[in-house]
Amino acid sequence: MATKSSKSKSKVGKSAKSASKQNLKQKAKVTKSQIDKLNKDMDHIQDIHKSLAQSGQAPKKIGALDVARLKSDMEKDEQRKKANKELQRQLEVMTGMAL
């Protein structure tokens, strides 16, 4: 009987391994297709930049990590938060007076 249970366990283990291999293969295919799509998009963007350079227009530079811009945005956000807190406080005072 011990051999019978070990055989059934090995079958379950093999099917689980094959299922996980299939999942890994599927994920690899999806990832590969996503990478291919991103590469095509990047090529398209580079073609657009080349055509803009040829026509005399400079491509717009995107400074996602521009320190000065990030600091100014952060300061604006802080000012907005302060203004929102002040308005909230005033609203609470006004609703307290009305009651």
What was the pLDDT predicted at 53?
Answer: 81
What was the pLDDT predicted at 51?
Answer: 86
d(Cα 35, Cα 43) in Å, to the nearest integer? 12
The answer to whether the Cα torsion of 83, 87, 93, 96 is positive or negative is negative
What was the pLDDT predicted at 1?
Answer: 47
pLDDT one-digit tens code per residue, 31-43: 999 999 998 988 8
Q: For the chain of 99 residues, list the mean pLDDT of each consecutive stretch of 10.
A: 53 69 90 92 88 76 74 93 95 81
What was the pLDDT predicted at 27?
Answer: 92
pLDDT one-digit tens code per residue, 6-17: 555 555 566 667
What was the pLDDT predicted at 96?
Answer: 83
